[in-house]
């Protein structure tokens, strides 16, 4: 019987005194080592070099059933451990009162570990296992700290992770295992078919998959305590391979997670009906390991790699025995740069503080503040700073921050830590003050729909000082309650939202039926919307600010708390002042505040109200309040705070990549036409309308071009440039009316200049106006002029017979005029393609507003607007027949640039041909004489380079590059908006300018002075050099017989071997080939070769081989 050992046995023996002899020293070490091997937890000091990566692994002896457990513990650096398996199980009761024989001694373990070891031991041979309950000395705090730091590497290195769920008293394991195997087998087959998402079916209610009774067994399985444990996320997530052991069944962990992931995304009702829930973090780990498969199973919804910060936040609701492990249990899943050494001697708050200060803050900066939660006690707890996330608090069902949310736009600032006061110093903009807050929304005392309706009534009675534009209060209220989020498809959500709105507005007390945007009849259920509100608002309060804005904040919020935007956070924050003189605050938590810049309205079925969070790119009305730092506008400029902020936020290749003048001009035309129509329809005061019209006309004439400083590289909708034009025109109109610049009175940039439009339809309209004007005024005239110049050359070159070339080799002859006729035809077709693109560009999106529905636009505005634009530009424009297409897609721009891309290909070929034909002057082709415009070389005197040809081909290459970007831009219309608009119009106008200027330069400096070297052309066509006097005689000769004699051996012999082509119909292809090869090989003429081979007589050759008869069908 194994002897029990006391705690004292685990202590390392002291080293012998230095004065002992070497022999005594060696003997003591030997004895110490021998005794150490009898300890169940061998000490790492025995390892050579005291390797810090040591682990202990278990050699589990064979056995069956309830027979006693026995094992050996061995010590080794992790890299040297033989192949082993790691055990993942539930500790359960932490009492260690079960004996196991270990290294010949008795060691105490938990009952749960005993069950797990019995389940995994083999009947006839040893099994190498790692299990934390025995491989870590649980009584040694230092050992625990060291080994816990190694656990991520241990589970990653294990050949397999054995997930032990426990016994199966109800006999459910067989049913669960068979169902998972069946479904996963089908999924695996379809995923590997290579046919993509479409082959994966989404079950619909009524399918057999919903009624399979085996789902209940799966629900029982995921009810096992293992799924509630925190450590198992790392243990299963890092596994190379994992097997679930439940009762007498083995189930692939990958299969289980994949099926669960599939059901979650495609048959969610099964999860609710059967309770087949696997915690979300396990799905996150599946996405990390199998991103392509997860992307297909989830309809392409896999986001970016999950961050450690998000992992420990998602784990807040998971069970862990030690609250320190809310950090330590997930270190193995951390990305590179996250380093922390577990230390179980520290208190829980000390661990959280160290994690925030030394681990998270250097990597994530102020983003960690988004994860701060407090209750009434912790907010006043001075033992830990308020900015440190307490991972053991789990107040909210849904966080405001989410992984894909981008950091709000504030100048970059890295938080700094002040150690003497444990203060975090951040840069922030104080926005507003909380004046009112609702009671806490709780899951225990759930507020009813009537309670929410009463809250809305109270808000209306308050009559806040500012509020939301154009009667959007109710929409903003509802968007705030849901933080603009909705479950499922938006088309199915709208009826529920509408039914809820009807109740809040007092129009209905029942559900509302209607038709969603996909055309199917559905009934709106306010309870569905209200359930979602309760989830979002759990442990939060609805707040109203001094400016009348609505928000959602932690339930501990108080009147007087401050709403701010902190540089590096992804949402607004609520802070509580503690020392005004030192600008010190406590962090209450993250918040959601609905911006006034919202498209939310009382809308029809097909229109979805969309609000923005205060602080994001579309919800930045706080800039207008004068609270944004360093946003001072130069006194000599007409632009305002929006433009100034954009100028600071998008310092990208300035001033080279400013928005093109053609776009600024088009903005002026747009705003001028809109002002005219808005005034005519009674939407604008005539005095204001006239002032806007005058200011916009100055923009259209480019008198105010210096007031448009923004880069092309900005928001993809062009919002910054639209606001730039609104502000410039507003301030210039204010100046015309004698007002104060920047006052927005009496002309407001949004309410007046932007009236009947949004950035989305305005930018799309501006793009088309600019494109049509630039094509008509620049490109088409330059193209026609170059075409005519080439046609003149064609006419003057018609009489010159030259050798043709295919594959860069000699071919049959043609005239130089015929060659140039091909260039003319290329440009004729190019012109036709450009003109074909114009009708689609003439369709304008204006009046479609945000998504193409025409929200906030009076009937008839779009048509009258296009009439005014046509009058102002002198060219015809029409309202787009479908404004959703006009805003969400910019296909007309892609088509137009496609024509330019094709034209660039044609011009490249023309310039390249002329460049090659002009190469020389003595050792090249030299058939054309290029104009000598400038010295060609700084090193070689007298050299003439084809500079105009090279310039044209280079700019053509740039146009082709622009087309690639425009193509990508054209395909980047997500849902109701193309978000590459500035890039597309910049590249289009750039290409138009390049081609227009390039063609003008090429015509003036190359084509106009281009000449043919007829002597050189004749020499290449005929063997003996043709003297110029004979060439002149030949050109002037009217006697056909003389010309014939000139082209025969009486004067010269034919040089081009490809003249043999005219013999193939006489003597056959094969014999003609032999004649040509013999001539080339023996350096003789074709005539001499034919006579030598006796295939033709001299008279026959002279009759058949006549280049002038080879220029047309004969």
Catalytic residue list: 807, 937
Contact 928, 917 (CB under 8 A): yes
**Strands, sheet with 249-252, edge to edge from the N-terminal-most edge strand:** 3-4, 105-110, 96-102, 70-77, 54-60, 127-130, 85-88, 160-166, 242-246, 249-252
Number of residues that this document lists for the chain: 1114
Cβ(977)–Cβ(851) under 8 Å? yes
CA dist., res. 389 & res. 366, Å (int): 12
Question: How does strand 878-879 pair with strand 843-844?
Answer: parallel
Question: CA angle at residue 837 from 831 to 839, to 5 degrees?
Answer: 120
Quickly tell me which residue has 């209940």 as its tokens.
216
Q: Encoding tokens for residue 1101?
A: 């050759």
What are φ and ψ of residue 123, in 5° steps? -75, -25
Which residue has tokens 């309870």?
A: 527
- The alpha carbons of the chain give a radius of gyration, in whole angstroms, of 41
Q: What are phi and psi of 977, to 5 degrees?
A: -155, 130
Q: Are 483 and 401 in contact (CB under 8 A)?
A: no
Q: Are 845 and 765 in contact (CB under 8 A)?
A: yes
Taking the C-alpha atoms of residue 599 and residue 611, their distance in angstroms, rounded to an integer, is 6
Q: How far is residue 364's CA from residue 724's CA, in Å, rounded to a whole number?
A: 33
Q: Please state whether the peptide bond connecting residue 494 to the residue before it is cis, i.e. omega within 30 degrees of 0.
A: no
Q: Please confirm whether the linkage preceding 921 is cis (ω < 30° from 0).
A: yes
In this structure, the strands spanning 540-545 and 521-524 are: unpaired
Cis peptide upstream of residue 469 (ω within 30 degrees of 0): no
Enumerate helices (H) and strands (E) in the chain, giving the number of each: 39, 29
Euclidean distance between CA atoms 84 and 131, whole angstroms: 11
> Coil, strand or helix: which one is 968?
helix
Find, among 592, 129, 173, 685, the residue nearest to 399 by Cα: 592
| Rounded Cα–Cα distance for residues 185 and 254 (Å) | 11
CA distances from 986 to 582, 630, 841 (A): 48, 29, 16
Q: Could you list the beta-strand ranges (E) of 369-411.
A: none
Spell out where 764-903 has E strands.
Answer: 801-806, 809-815, 843-844, 878-879
The burial class, CB within 10 Å (0-12 / 13-18 / 19+), for 581 is exposed
CB 906 within 8 A of CB 784: no
Closest CA to 224 of 241, 248, 247: 247
Q: Which residues contact 20 (CB under 8 A, 6 or more apart)?
A: 28
DSSP-H helix ranges across 126-225: 132-135, 141-157, 173-191, 208-211, 214-222
SS (H, E, C) 772-794: HHHHHHHHHHHHHHHHHHHHHHH
User: What's the CA gap between 457 and 399, in Å, rounded?
Assistant: 27
Coil, strand or helix at 711: strand
Distance CA(99)–CA(107), nearest Å, equals 6
What backbone phi and psi angles, to 5 degrees, belong to 273? -70, -45
């Amino acid at each position: 019987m194994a002897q029990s050992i006391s705690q004292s046995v685990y202590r390392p023996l002291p080293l012998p005194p230095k004065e002992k002899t070497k022999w005594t020293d060696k003997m003591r070490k030997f004895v110490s080592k021998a005794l150490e091997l009898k300890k169940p937890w061998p000490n790492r000091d025995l390892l050579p070099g005291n390797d810090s990566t040591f682990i202990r692994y278990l050699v589990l002896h064979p056995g069956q059933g309830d027979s006693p457990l026995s094992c050996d513990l061995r010590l080794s650096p992790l890299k040297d451990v033989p192949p082993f398996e790691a055990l993942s199980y539930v500790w359960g009761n932490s009492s260690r009162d079960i004996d196991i024989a270990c290294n010949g001694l008795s060691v105490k373990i938990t009952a749960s570990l005993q069950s797990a070891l019995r389940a995994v031991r083999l009947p006839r041979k040893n099994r190498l296992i790692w299990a934390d309950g025995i491989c870590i000395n649980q009584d040694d705090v230092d050992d625990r700290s060291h080994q816990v730091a190694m656990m991520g590497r241990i589970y990653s290195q294990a050949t397999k992770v054995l997930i032990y769920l426990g016994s199966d008293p109800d006999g459910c394991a067989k049913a669960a295992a068979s169902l998972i195997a069946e479904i996963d087998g089908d999924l695996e087959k379809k995923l590997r078919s290579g046919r993509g998402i479409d082959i994966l079916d989404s079950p619909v209610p009524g399918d057999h998959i919903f009624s399979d009774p085996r789902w209940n067994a799966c629900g029982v399985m995921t009810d096992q305590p293992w799924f509630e444990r925190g450590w198992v996320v790392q243990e299963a997530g890092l596994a190379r391979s994992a097997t679930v052991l439940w009762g007498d069944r083995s189930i692939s962990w990958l299969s289980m997670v994949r099926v669960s992931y599939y059901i979650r995304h495609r048959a969610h009702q099964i999860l609710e009906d059967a309770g087949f829930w696997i915690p979300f973090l396990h799905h996150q780990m599946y996405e990390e390991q199998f991103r392509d498969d997860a992307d297909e199973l989830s309809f392409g919804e896999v986001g970016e790699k999950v961050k450690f910060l998000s992992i420990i936040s998602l784990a807040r609701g998971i069970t862990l025995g030690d609250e320190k492990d809310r950090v330590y249990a997930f270190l193995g899943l951390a990305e590179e740069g996250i380093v922390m050494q577990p230390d179980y001697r520290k208190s829980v708050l000390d661990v959280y503080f160290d994690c925030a200060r030394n681990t998270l803050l250097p990597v994530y900066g102020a983003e960690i503040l988004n994860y701060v939660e407090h209750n009434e006690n912790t907010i006043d707890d001075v033992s830990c700073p308020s900015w440190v996330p307490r991972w053991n608090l789990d107040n909210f069902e849904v966080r405001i921050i989410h992984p894909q949310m981008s950091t709000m736009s504030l100048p970059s600032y890295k938080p700094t830590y002040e150690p003497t006061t444990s203060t975090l110093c951040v840069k922030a903009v104080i926005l507003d003050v909380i004046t009112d807050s609702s009671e806490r929304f709780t899951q225990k005392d759930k507020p009813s729909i009537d309670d929410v309706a009463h809250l809305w009534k109270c808000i209306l009675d308050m009559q806040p000082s500012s509020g939301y534009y154009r009667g959007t209060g109710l929409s903003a209220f509802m968007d705030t309650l849901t933080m603009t989020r909705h479950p499922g498809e938006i088309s199915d959500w709208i009826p529920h939202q509408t039914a809820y709105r009807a109740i809040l507005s007092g129009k209905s007390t029942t559900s509302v039926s209607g038709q969603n945007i996909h055309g199917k009849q559905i009934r709106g259920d306010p309870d569905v919307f209200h359930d979602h509100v309760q989830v979002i608002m759990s442990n939060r309060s609805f707040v109203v600010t001094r400016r009348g804005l609505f928000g959602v904040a932690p339930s501990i919020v108080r009147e007087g708390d401050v709403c701010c935007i902190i540089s590096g956070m992804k949402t607004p924050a609520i802070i509580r002042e503690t020392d005004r003189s030192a600008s010190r605050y406590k962090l209450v938590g993250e918040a959601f505040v609905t911006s006034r810049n919202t498209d939310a309205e009382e809308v029809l079925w097909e229109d979805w109200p969309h609000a923005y969070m205060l602080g994001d790119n579309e919800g930045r009305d706080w800039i207008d309040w004068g609270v944004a730092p360093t946003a001072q506008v130069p006194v000599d400029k007409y632009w305002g705070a929006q433009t100034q902020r954009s100028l600071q936020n998008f310092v990208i290749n300035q001033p080279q990549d400013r928005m093109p003048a053609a776009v600024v001009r088009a903005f002026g035309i747009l705003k001028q036409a809109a002002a005219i129509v808005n005034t005519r329809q009674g939407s604008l005061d005539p005095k204001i309308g006239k002032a806007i019209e005058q200011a916009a006309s100055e923009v259209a004439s480019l008198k105010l071009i210096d007031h448009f400083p923004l880069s092309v590289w900005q928001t993809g909708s062009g919002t910054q440039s639209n606001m730039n034009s609104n502000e410039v025109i507003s301030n210039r109109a204010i100046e015309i009316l004698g007002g104060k610049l920047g006052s927005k009175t009496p002309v407001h940039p949004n309410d007046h200049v932007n009236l009947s439009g949004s950035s989305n339809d305005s930018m799309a309209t501006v793009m088309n106006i600019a494109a049509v004007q630039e094509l008509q005024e620049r490109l088409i005239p330059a193209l026609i002029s170059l075409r005519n110049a080439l046609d003149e050359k064609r006419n003057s070159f018609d009489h010159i017979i030259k050798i043709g070339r295919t594959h860069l080799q000699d071919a049959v002859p043609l005239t130089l005029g015929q060659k140039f006729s091909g260039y003319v035809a290329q440009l004729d077709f190019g012109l036709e393609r450009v003109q074909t693109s114009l009708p689609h560009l003439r369709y304008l999106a204006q009046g479609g507003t945000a998504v193409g529905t025409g929200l906030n636009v009076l009937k008839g505005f779009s048509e009258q607007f296009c009439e005014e634009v046509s009058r102002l530009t002198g060219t015809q424009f029409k309202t787009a027949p479908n404004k959703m297409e006009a805003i969400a897609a910019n296909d007309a721009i892609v088509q137009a640039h496609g024509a330019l891309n094709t034209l660039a290909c044609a011009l490249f070929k023309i310039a390249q041909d002329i460049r090659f034909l002009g190469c020389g002057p003595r050792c090249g082709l030299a058939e054309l004489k290029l104009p000598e415009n400038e010295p060609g070389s700084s090193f070689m005197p007298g050299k003439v380079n084809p500079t105009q040809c090279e310039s044209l081909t280079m700019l053509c290459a740039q146009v082709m590059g622009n087309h690639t970007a425009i193509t990508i831009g054209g395909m980047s219309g997500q849902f109701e908006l193309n978000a590459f608009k500035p890039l597309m119009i910049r590249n289009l106008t750039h290409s138009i300018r390049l081609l227009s200027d390039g063609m003008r330069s090429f015509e003036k400096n190359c084509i106009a002075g281009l000449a043919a070297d007829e002597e050189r052309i004749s020499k290449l066509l005929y063997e003996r050099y043709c003297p110029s006097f004979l060439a002149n005689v030949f050109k002037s000769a009217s006697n056909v017989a003389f010309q014939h004699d000139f082209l025969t051996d009486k004067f010269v012999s034919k040089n081009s071997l490809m003249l043999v082509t005219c013999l193939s119909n006489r003597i056959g292809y094969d014999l003609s080939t032999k004649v040509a090869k013999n001539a080339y090989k023996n350096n003789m003429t074709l005539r001499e070769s034919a006579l030598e081979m006796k295939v033709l007589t001299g008279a026959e050759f002279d009759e058949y081989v006549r280049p002038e008869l080879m220029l047309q069908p004969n």
